[in-house]
Structure 1
Amino acid sequence: MARLLRDAYGVPHLVAASLPDLLRAQGWVTAHDRTWQLEHLRRRASGTLAELLGPGRGGSVLAADVLARRAGVVEQARRAYDALREDTRAALASYVEGVNAGLRSDAAELVALGATPGRWEPWTPLETFLVQHLLFARLPGKLWSARLREVLGDDARLLSSEGPSPSGSNAWAVGGERTASGLPLVAGDPHRDHASPGPYLQVRLRNEDPADPFDVVGFSFAGVPGVQHFAHAGEVAWAITNGQADYQDAFREELRRTADGGVEARGPRGWEPATAHRETVSVAAGEPVQVEVVRTARGPVFHGEVGGSGGALSLRAASDVVGELGFDALLPLLRARSVADVEAALGHWVEPVNNLVVADRAGAVRYALVGRVPLRDDRNRRGPVPAWEAGHEWTGWLDGARYDVAPDGVVVTANERRGAESDLVGTAFASPHRAGRLRELMDGRTGLDVEDMAALHADVRVGVHGSVVAFLSSLDDAGLSDAGRELRAAVLSWDGEASVGSTGVTAFARWRAAFARRVADEPVFAALREPVDLPAPLAAVHDLPHQVALGLGSLLSDAAGPAPFGLDLPALATAALEDAAAEGPLRPWGEVHTLSPAHAFDAVDGLEAPGVPRPGLRGDVETVCCEGSWTPYSEVAYRGSVARYAWDLADVARSGWVVPLGADGDPAGAHHGDQATPYADVRLLPVVTDLAALREEPLG
């Protein structure tokens, strides 16, 4: 038997006498609170979302379905499930049993669509995890970087240098000699696209089986049992950030049809058999679409057709090669008692590759890179390589860096390049600003506590501020209109903080957007403005104005030297000042930079997404308090911290956490958006550990 208790924000605390009962309860409460989210994820993974929503605006829903089919998400998840240990499969069975019992037919989105939720299989959690991370690695960026080099040659580095990461996070740990309690602190926040409901669920899992006791608080992916990335297990706490690792390769494939209707692919030793079959993607209010699913010796063909000459692309990914995702880590993480336990558990991890920071009550603090990074030719890391050319084979796996942190030390990871050790990990890392800023704010400080960690979460210093001020100060303003001079003065007098009440950051953001549009419209970039022949989910990164905005720091760092690409940057910047000034009076940042979580209905004409709170947010794309916009098209915050936490090893009850919306995925639920205000204020909510302070609800 199990009990369901909730705190004042509806966060579920689950207590059971056995592991199967506990995981069934977790599955049930996840389905009860997040039925639509689970159905959406299940259909995304199986490539059946268009059957429910139709093709989507611009065919976006259908394109995602086709990619999921061609990538073989379900087949790969089933193989990974078959490779799991028996106890992990049993745990998944218990969780899925709970999910199927908890799914609700009255979920608002399903009612609007006249649909009912589908049944989950024991391997469905692997499907949903895999589909969310299919494009999480370097593949989209690798294809963009290759296109840049093809068009711009050596100058491509100015648009592909290190900058804000599309999938980043902050995480840090503080040794006990620097804290108020004398025991370590672990804190951080993952950065992903904001969504309604959000990707992470706050949960407490307490197993009272005397033979297998544990009591863990943390964040769980919807549809996945246990806690994965951020948790406090009483004796040990951990956090991760994206390792920015390159563990996916794209191969250019030459495919041909055989006399009997089969498919062959040209490999290093000539033509070789490939597997192929056809699947039908059903489309609501539309004709079904036939998809040929082809798999070569490299991996699934995700783009291109049979018969093209080197135009098709296949994907070789670490999880596909080893046939595992890393789910054998889930149970050991729940039972972890030490730094060594957590590191051993994540020895099973495959992808995404993550930076791990972990600390325990014995005072140990450690960093480790966890996951599988292949060893291969450097050309594989730069772009698609010919499948028929020898020398691109994977030859082994990188032994990831790991080291202990002194009791008076601090470890920070924010997706930045970590010295020479990063050269074999990846090719594109985040700007060092966030990591450097966190170290700066903790430098020399002692007596740190959870409140201090929350203050670090709230830092809004913009990394490019100094470069922008220096560049705009150097401009000759003789040709500027009065409005242009006022806009320039607003940026130059700005303190570099992206605070909600600031109009200076609004002036900067307007100029950045206008400058990005001006630069992207230059003739030298004409080829990069052409539509790219890639699946829609992969093509988004090829938006040139957005890439220019992200690369602003790199572009300005070279402004004092020879003109990059032959551009007249001062003239473009001056014109951008006039463009920005023409937009009218400046409004405080919090009025234009509002929380904007995506919903599946956003992509479908005629469907209205349920309402959510949209508070004004501090921060920008590369501040520690990360809240990024799709510059230059909008200043609303479409991505940022999708959870914040601070774990105190001295006492779980002194820890804190928060998510952008709330625990409940039901738009009519009391806890659908009740964390939005503390989230916007960058306040952490207390982790309640006293069962007597919780309210009990019926379970099942």
Structure 2
Amino acid sequence: MRRSRVALFSVGLLAAAVAAVPDRASAEDTVEVPGLRGAGSIVRDVDGVPHLRATDPYDLFYLQGWVHADDRLFQMDVSRRTASGTLAELLGESALPGDVQMRTIGLRRAAERGLPAQSPETQGALRAYADGVNAFVARHDLPGQYRSLKLSTVDPWTPVDSLAVIKLIAFGLSFDLDIDRTLIAQAYRTAGAKAGFDGAAAVREDLFRVEPFTPAATVPDAIGRHPRNATSAGTAAAAAPTEIPASALALAADYQRRVEQVPVIADALDREVHHGSNSWVVGGRHTATGRPILASDPHLAAEAPSVAYPIGLHGAGFETAGDGFPGSPFVVLGHNRDVVWGATMNPMDVTDTFVEQLRTDPASPSGLSTVYQGRLEHVQAIDETFRVNTRTGAVAVVPPGGAIPARTLVVPRRNNGPLLTMDPAAGTALSVQYTGFSATRELDAFRLIDTARDVDDFRNALRFFDVGSQNFTYADARGHIAHFTSGEQPLREDLQAGAVRGNPPFQLRDGTGGNEWLPLTNRRPADQAVPFQVLPFTEMPQVVDPPTGVIVTANNDPAGNTLDNDLLNQFRPGGGIFYLGVVYDGQRAGRVTDLLRTATAHGAGRVTVEDVKNQQADTTLLDAQFFTPYLTAALDGARDPARASRTPELAALAADRRVIEAVGRLARWRYTTPTGIPEGYDAADRDGRLDPPTRQEVDESIAATLYTLWRGRTFRTVIDAPLNRISPDLPVPNDRDSFKTLKKLLADFDKRQGVGASGIDFFALPGVADPADRRDVLLLRGMAESLDLLAGDRFATAFGRATDQDAYRWGRLHRVTFASPLGAPYSVPSVGNPVRSPLPGLAGLPVDGGLYTVDVANFNSRADNADGFVMRFAPARRFVAQPAAVGMRAESSLPGGVSEEIGDRWSGNLLGRYLTNDTYPVRLPPTSVLTWEPVHRDVRR
């Protein structure tokens, strides 16, 4: 693409190495941008970040559309088409299954409903943004990605496209189906009845606990007081679940299998919270300058180009810098001269999936109706046409038939949600109800946040943040700090009545009545989008200037409802069960809380921005601090002659030199996870320039490898194997739940001897009578099996079948690839891209970090091959800000650069600093030096 810029600061072309960092500007280039109403300018700072200036709001957002199209047109097109179910028109037939499912879910329909609901100011910004995108496209060649797909044109951008992009992002952070939990509960009830264990207790107490790994809870920790739990009305009611018809269970299982093949839906349904976030605020009394510090690093898919796009907006009432999303106007996360904000995903339950009774109904426009309270309610039908890019320069219509539906079926009662799947012969269907199907106004919220001047402005702006389930953190120049949980949470009729009817809301629910979202009884408030009763904003977890002076949120429970392993025993002030959600994390928040308590324990006025940046780069494994002592104690205990004589395998493991060496390494380990290799990117390196690892880093790296393999093998041995012995079809816990299961079993071992509340003996071992011996054999066996794996064929590409433990460097396993939907050469690293994989035979860039470290670096906990530890989610930015004497001091990082074009000077210039946890300044006048040059007006306007 020809690169045109307005008042562009440029630097010399970068070398291929990601470590290259520009240090000064040289030349300028000014071009004409037609269509503006007045004077405006686009200036790129030395890092390539565009800053837009205009006096007219139309011009400001016209320029934002122009510059987004200049840098990210193909990414924008992929995003709107993914949301709209038209991606196959771009990428071809392989995207067609995803189009079918996304067309059914209907984000595009929701975006169309949302346009007239936006404020006049936001509608104007959307129109201006679309005009800017289209003006750029009309005057420039399409990016190379289109040529590789044999396409020469792109559809015009529309305001609805921008809303679809925002809907897609919110969908990934808030959508759910409840199918997997229903199938799990049913499987354990059935298996328990056959095998003689308590299936409900297996789910609730042993394997799928809602209690987090640590008790970190945002508001209770901030105010220094945890909630008092009420009597468990919900649990008693949930003991009598709804019997889901076999036809519905079969439908649900089949639908789950199909959508798990659609990446955008599979990622939304990911229970691991791998796509989470961290954000915390340290109040001024704890900092060296007396002003608060805010940190924010949202974790999203590791993509090329990056999900986030940095920008500055100046003029027309805006003086804001930070990150937004290509395809939509405004700054989403960032700061202005007065306030700074961050956000983390809050997994509120804003989706319910219903088992519907389906009936043939000639009176219905679709020929079908559902049954509600004994009455037929019509199902609506929407005609669909699917198309694919044939890669011959044409887009062809795909005739309906088989997996290609002729129409989408919509259930009006379900907030205009769809019938996901149906079995007409059995008279059964599944429908889904989601707050995101409403005409929501997240962009109104961001517009108001961008211009907020104090905490009241910020709070009022969040009343328009309807879906996307976020915990917002806040600090301002006056010294205030705050936390707000935001998003509209529907009120269910049974919970509001004080007891669960049938299945709880995180499982499939009966669609014939009794589990509905409560209808509005009065006129809908002006700041509410969802046409049902919702939890009032004032009852959402929130705190301003808490007594501890510290606020931590990292996808953990904001209210503390889950800390007693019971979701449904808290009550609203006026009655009804207070329910937010079920999928909470605890490890990252627990580690950040520990770090901040240490940092603030020795008196006021010590914490600096550098301290917070180091906390953000932390790669310590909190779980290892708990689990490793059990392994080292097992080896010590195995050396007891009495135990060795009665349990020969224990004696053999205690004598295994490989096990002795490995456990010894873990006994000396500091629980950190550096790469340990010269090619690896570590937080200890600077600005993308790699230093050789120290001996301590090498030792820590080896220990990280040994521990990670041992933990995965122990999950398989202690959790999976006993369940497989009962039935090979029993679902095993995911990563997050496995951590909690193993912790509970070990913490309660002296009391329960490894037998769960369900009656399942998780440490059963034939021929070994003593419970402690069984436990220690399994723990040590996990290490022996890990060493066998590391020296075997599955890890040969990483370690060459080496038996010397010094070879087991963590960086050869733990790598990241920033993926493009087109693959090489657009993925980073890849063949043909300026950034190549530095390790022969191993794709990706070696990076530090581990599962649930603060500097998120997640993978499958049970990975057992050299490519099983590659990250799929990563920080989309790492941002730290503190009010200064004038304005804000803010720093950020980005995994790549602002441009998506291979070889462009701004496509990879920021990647090196990102990989080593270093930053670039987020510039906002008057604290930065920028020159503003006018964009020439089009005299023909």
| TM-score, structure 2 normalization | 0.67
The 1:326/1:519 distance shift into structure 2, 3 A limit, reads: same
Out of 454, 461, 465, which is 2:620 matched to? 461
Q: What letter corresponds to residue 534 of structure 2 in structure 1?
A: W
Q: What letter corresponds to residue 19 of structure 1 in structure 2?
A: P
CA distance in 2, matches of 1:55, 1:579: 43
TM alignment of 1:50-69, pairs within 5 A? 50-56=88-94, 61-69=95-103
CA distance in 2, matches of 1:526, 1:67: 36
Residue 335 of structure 1 corresponds to 451
CA distance in 2, matches of 1:662, 1:281: 34
Out of 853, 865, 875, which is 1:623 matched to? 853
Residue 468 of structure 2 corresponds to 352
CA distance in 2, matches of 1:552, 1:603: 36
- Note if contact 2:417-2:434 (Cα within 8 Å) is conserved in structure 1: no
TM alignment of 1:362-401, pairs within 5 A? 362-376=478-492, 377=495, 378=500, 379-394=503-518, 396-398=533-535, 399-401=539-541
TM alignment of 1:599-618, pairs within 5 A? 599-602=820-823, 611=833, 612=835, 614-618=844-848
Q: Shift of residue 397 of structure 1?
A: 1.6
CA distance in 2, matches of 1:522, 1:590: 30
- Note if contact 2:40-2:934 (Cα within 8 Å) is conserved in structure 1: no
For the residue of structure 1 that corresponds to 2:518, the secondary structure is coil
Q: Shift of residue 34 of structure 1?
A: 0.6
Q: What letter corresponds to residue 580 of structure 1 in structure 2?
A: S
Residue 236 of structure 1 corresponds to 339
Residue 786 of structure 2 corresponds to 580
The 1:456/1:548 distance shift into structure 2, 3 A limit, reads: closer
Q: Shift of residue 639 of structure 1?
A: 1.2
CA distance in 2, matches of 1:270, 1:76: 27
CA distance in 2, matches of 1:334, 1:644: 19
- Note if contact 2:860-2:869 (Cα within 8 Å) is conserved in structure 1: yes
- Note if contact 2:421-2:429 (Cα within 8 Å) is conserved in structure 1: yes
1:479 and 2:652 aligned? yes
TM alignment of 1:161-560, pairs within 5 A? 161=209, 162=212, 165-207=273-315, 209=316, 212=317, 214-228=318-332, 230-259=333-362, 262-284=367-389, 288=399, 289-296=404-411, 297-298=413-414, 299-301=416-418, 303-305=420-422, 307=424, 309=426, 311-320=428-437, 322-376=438-492, 377=495, 378=500, 379-394=503-518, 396-398=533-535, 399-406=539-546, 409-420=549-560, 424-431=579-586, 432-444=589-601, 446-475=605-634, 476=638, 477-480=650-653, 481-501=656-676, 502-518=701-717, 522=721, 524-525=723-724, 544=732, 547-548=734-735, 551-559=738-746, 560=749
The 1:498/1:426 distance shift into structure 2, 3 A limit, reads: same
CA distance in 1, matches of 2:510, 2:487: 26
Residue 590 of structure 1 corresponds to 811
The 1:380/1:408 distance shift into structure 2, 3 A limit, reads: closer
Q: What letter corresponds to residue 367 of structure 1 in structure 2?
A: H
The 1:331/1:490 distance shift into structure 2, 3 A limit, reads: same
CA distance in 1, matches of 2:877, 2:727: 35
Q: Shift of residue 70 of structure 1?
A: 0.5
- Note if contact 1:6-1:694 (Cα within 8 Å) is conserved in structure 2: no
CA distance in 2, matches of 1:697, 1:673: 28
Q: What letter corresponds to residue 484 of structure 2 in structure 1?
A: A
Q: Shift of residue 521 of structure 1?
A: 5.4
- Note if contact 1:247-1:318 (Cα within 8 Å) is conserved in structure 2: yes
For the residue of structure 1 that corresponds to 2:816, the secondary structure is coil
Most deviating of 408-417 and 279-288:
279-288
For the residue of structure 1 that corresponds to 2:855, the secondary structure is coil
Out of 668, 671, 674, which is 2:903 matched to? 668
Q: What letter corresponds to residue 507 of structure 2 in structure 1?
A: G
Residue 796 of structure 2 corresponds to none
For the residue of structure 1 that corresponds to 2:300, the secondary structure is strand
Q: Shift of residue 519 of structure 1?
A: 5.8
For the residue of structure 2 that corresponds to 1:89, the secondary structure is helix
Q: Shift of residue 518 of structure 1?
A: 4.8
Residue 658 of structure 1 corresponds to 893
CA distance in 2, matches of 1:167, 1:699: 43
CA distance in 1, matches of 2:815, 2:935: 36
Q: Shift of residue 437 of structure 1?
A: 3.0
The 1:334/1:602 distance shift into structure 2, 3 A limit, reads: same
The 1:509/1:191 distance shift into structure 2, 3 A limit, reads: same
Q: What letter corresponds to residue 576 of structure 1 in structure 2?
A: G
Q: What letter corresponds to residue 583 of structure 2 in structure 1?
A: A
| TM-score, structure 1 normalization | 0.89
Residue 538 of structure 1 corresponds to none
* Structure ID, larger Rg: 2
CA distance in 2, matches of 1:580, 1:698: 62
Gapped regions of structure 2 (runs ≥ 5): 1-38, 189-199, 214-271, 391-395, 520-532, 568-578, 639-649, 677-700, 765-774, 792-801, 837-843
TM alignment of 1:53-132, pairs within 5 A? 53-56=91-94, 61-103=95-137, 105-115=141-151, 116-132=153-169
- Note if contact 1:45-1:68 (Cα within 8 Å) is conserved in structure 2: yes
The 1:45/1:510 distance shift into structure 2, 3 A limit, reads: same
Most deviating of 659-668 and 122-131:
659-668
Q: Shift of residue 660 of structure 1?
A: 1.8
Most deviating of 7-16 and 388-397:
388-397
For the residue of structure 1 that corresponds to 2:327, the secondary structure is coil
The 1:311/1:568 distance shift into structure 2, 3 A limit, reads: farther
CA distance in 2, matches of 1:430, 1:473: 27
Q: What letter corresponds to residue 784 of structure 2 in structure 1?
A: E
Most deviating of 550-559 and 481-490:
481-490
Q: Shift of residue 6 of structure 1?
A: 1.2
Deviations 1:90-140 (A, max 9, x none): 111011111222346432322211123322111111111112332422615
Q: Shift of residue 264 of structure 1?
A: 0.8
Q: Shift of residue 232 of structure 1?
A: 0.8
Out of 40, 55, 61, which is 1:23 matched to? 61
CA distance in 2, matches of 1:249, 1:609: 44
Identical aligned residues as a percent? 25
The 1:369/1:521 distance shift into structure 2, 3 A limit, reads: closer
Deviations 1:619-652 (A, max 9, x none): 2231111111134341122212111111111244
CA distance in 2, matches of 1:108, 1:529: 49
The 1:197/1:459 distance shift into structure 2, 3 A limit, reads: same
For the residue of structure 1 that corresponds to 2:436, the secondary structure is helix
Q: What letter corresponds to residue 620 of structure 1 in structure 2?
A: G
Q: What letter corresponds to residue 191 of structure 1 in structure 2?
A: H
Residue 563 of structure 1 corresponds to 755
Most deviating of 92-101 and 279-288:
279-288
CA distance in 2, matches of 1:686, 1:552: 38
Most deviating of 548-557 and 11-20:
548-557
- Note if contact 2:311-2:324 (Cα within 8 Å) is conserved in structure 1: yes
The 1:407/1:359 distance shift into structure 2, 3 A limit, reads: farther
CA distance in 1, matches of 2:504, 2:822: 37
TM alignment of 1:142-161, pairs within 5 A? 142-152=178-188, 153-157=200-204, 158-161=206-209
CA distance in 2, matches of 1:678, 1:311: 54
Q: Shift of residue 529 of structure 1?
A: 6.9
TM alignment of 1:126-141, pairs within 5 A? 126-137=163-174, 139-140=176-177
How much is the aligned-residue C-alpha RMSD, in angstroms? 3.1
The 1:499/1:698 distance shift into structure 2, 3 A limit, reads: farther
How many residues get paired? 676
Most deviating of 247-256 and 259-268:
259-268
Q: Shift of residue 385 of structure 1?
A: 0.1
Q: Shift of residue 490 of structure 1?
A: 3.5
- Note if contact 1:263-1:306 (Cα within 8 Å) is conserved in structure 2: no
The 1:313/1:134 distance shift into structure 2, 3 A limit, reads: farther
CA distance in 2, matches of 1:629, 1:478: 34
